[in-house]
Amino acid sequence: MPTPWQHRFAQNAKSTQSSAIRELFKVTANPEVISFGGGLPAPEVFPIGEFKSACDKVLTTNGAMALQYSNSEGYAPLREMIARQMDAYAMKLGLDNILITTGTQQSIDLISKLLLNNAERVLVEDPTFLGALQIFGLFGARFTTVPTDDDGLQTDLLPEAFRSGPRFMYVIPTFQNPAGVTLSMKRREALIALSDQYGIPIVEDDPYSALRFEGETLTPLMALDAARLKTADGYPAGNVIYCGSFSKTLAPGLRLAWIAAPSEVIGKLVQIKQGADLHTPIFVQMAAYECLRDGFLEKHILKIREVYRERRNVMLSAMDEHFPKGMEWTRPAGGLFLWARLPEGMVSAELLRTAIRMNVAFVPGNSFFAVDEKAGERYFRLNFSNMKPERIREGIQRLGKAIGEAQKV
Ligand SMILES: Cc1ncc(COP(=O)(O)O)c(C=O)c1O
């Protein structure tokens, strides 16, 4: 007799749903649709030629290693390169502090396996990255949420949230997904001090900080924490686990990211990663290292910033021109997203239906809210990195019309 699969699925698997963004991909596959939906980088900035040469070099000079099984920690020269990036924040990292992962999506999964028992509580921002919510959901997690404003997470509300007993806090301090906001320096200091006071670890997800268009770079939470809490020889020994990624600075299809943390955390994560996928493809790690070494990464980031800055500017000025009165939106200084709020009484999921008829798409805000989806119903997220400027202008004009139509109903 055929297996009644619905009854066989584990309890936590039953509750997981396809993310709103994956679902949207089905609509946006139509080339007529101008999509501000996914968090896709611009394909025009992928360094295809450089990557091709790097692959060639790796296979020619060290093909046997590139195609063999490898260690779980990751390719040592790549880990060394990552450690040196943190020098800019006067933070000392050794190889024992870094684990290469198959994307931050995996980093969050491994960290959850490390820290989260079934049905325990996680503290998140409201709104937050729905890919992380999906992972925590697979652990049957319960959520405490803290709202964000233009300066990021509202840290004055943290003491009460910490008292709800979360296993850890998950936070995106810089150019947050979805809201595009950045946690101010004062609030970073407050968050670090409170995490120490309450003994609650912080998982810092930082895929976007390199994509800054203006203003001063802010110190990552991990560097602030490590300045206070370190081993006798100066390595981090504090409360923060940091997630970095090459998805937005090199290419997301490589699935290449890393975790930086105190060595005892990395040691345990290495064992968990062995159980998950043994190691991130060593060929990808070696080719990425070959491509990025000798200053290419720094030069490449400057180029990406230029392209995205222009696209953000085009989107903001088109919104100024075409969006009706009563709407509000963020003006992010970097990253890939901005976050808009509809006038009172409007619902973004309903607007999406009208917008799709006009061949323009975005992600409605409700799915970014961990507990109260209704709190997100007036919001939506717009991605400005993936479409070329003329498509952005056209798409925002269509969206302005869609909002106008939906307002009349
Ligand atoms: C905040 C955040 N974390 C993690 C990810 C996933 O990154 P990766 O491609 O490294 O898995 C994304 C992707 O959009 C993101 O926005």
The residue-averaged pLDDT of 209-218 equals 97
Residue whose Cα lies nearest atom 14 of ligand 1: it is 39
Question: Predicted confidence band at 62 (pLDDT cuts at 50, 70, 90)?
Answer: very high
Tens digits of per-residue pLDDT, 271-289? 999 999 999 999 999 999 9
Distance in Å, CA 322 to ligand 1 centroid = 30
Tens digits of per-residue pLDDT, 360-398? 999 999 999 999 989 999 999 999 999 999 999 999 999
Q: Write down the residue that tokens 């005892």 correspond to.
A: 264
For β-strands 379-383 and 363-364, DSSP reports them as antiparallel
**Nearest to residue 170, comparing CAs of 198, 216, 136, 194?**
136
**Nearest to residue 323, comparing CAs of 315, 335, 333, 331?**
315
Distance in Å, CA 208 to ligand 1 centroid = 9
**Burial of 103 (C-beta count, 10 Å sphere; 0-12/13-18/19+):** buried
Longest dimension (CA), the chain: 66
Q: What is the pTM of this model?
A: 0.96
The residue-averaged pLDDT of 227-234 equals 95
Question: Predicted confidence band at 106 (pLDDT cuts at 50, 70, 90)?
Answer: very high
Q: Given strand 121-126, what is the order of strands in its sheet?
A: 98-101, 257-260, 240-245, 202-205, 168-171, 121-126, 142-149, 152-153
Distance in Å, CA 172 to ligand 1 centroid = 10
**Nearest to residue 194, comparing CAs of 169, 167, 218, 219?**
169
Q: How many residues in total does the chain contain?
A: 409
Distance in Å, CA 243 to ligand 1 centroid = 9
- Grouping H, G, I as helix, E, B as strand and the rest as coil, residue 35 is strand
Ranges of each domain in the chain: 9-47+298-408, 48-296
Q: Residue 21: is its pLDDT beyond 80?
A: no
Q: Residue 24: is its pLDDT beyond 80?
A: no
Q: What string of DSSP letters covers 114-182?
A: HH--TT-EEEEEES--HHHHHHHHHTT-EEEEEEEETTEE-GGGHHHHHHT--SEEEE--SS-TTT---
Strand partners, 236: 230
User: Average pLDDT over the chain, rounded to whole?
Assistant: 95
d(CA 302, CA 309): 11
Alpha helices in 199-259 (DSSP H): 221-228
Q: Residue 409: is its pLDDT beyond 90?
A: no
**Could you tell which of 247, 280, 384 is best to mutate to test the pocket of ligand 1, judged by most ligand atoms within 8 Å of the CB?**
247
Which atom of ligand 1 is found nearest the CA of 172?
1
Distance in Å, CA 360 to ligand 1 centroid = 23
Q: What CATH number has the domain spanning 48-296? A: 3.40.640.10
Q: Residue 111: is its pLDDT beyond 80?
A: yes
Contact 123, 165 (CB under 8 A): no
Token code pair at residue 387:
């479409």
Contact 16, 367 (CB under 8 A): no
Residues with a CB atom less than 6 Å from ligand 1: 39, 103-105, 129, 131, 172, 177, 205, 207, 245, 247, 252, 257
Confidence (pLDDT) at 16: 77
Q: Residue 20: is its pLDDT beyond 80?
A: no
Tens digits of per-residue pLDDT, 90-102? 899 999 999 999 9
**Residue-wise burial string across 276-305, b where 16 or more C-beta atoms lie within 10 A, e elsewhere:** eeebbbbbbbbbbbbbbeeeebeebbeebb
Which atom of ligand 1 is found nearest the CA of 176?
1
**Higher pLDDT, residue 24 or 63:** 63
Which CATH architecture fits 9-47+298-408?
Answer: Alpha-Beta Complex (3.90)
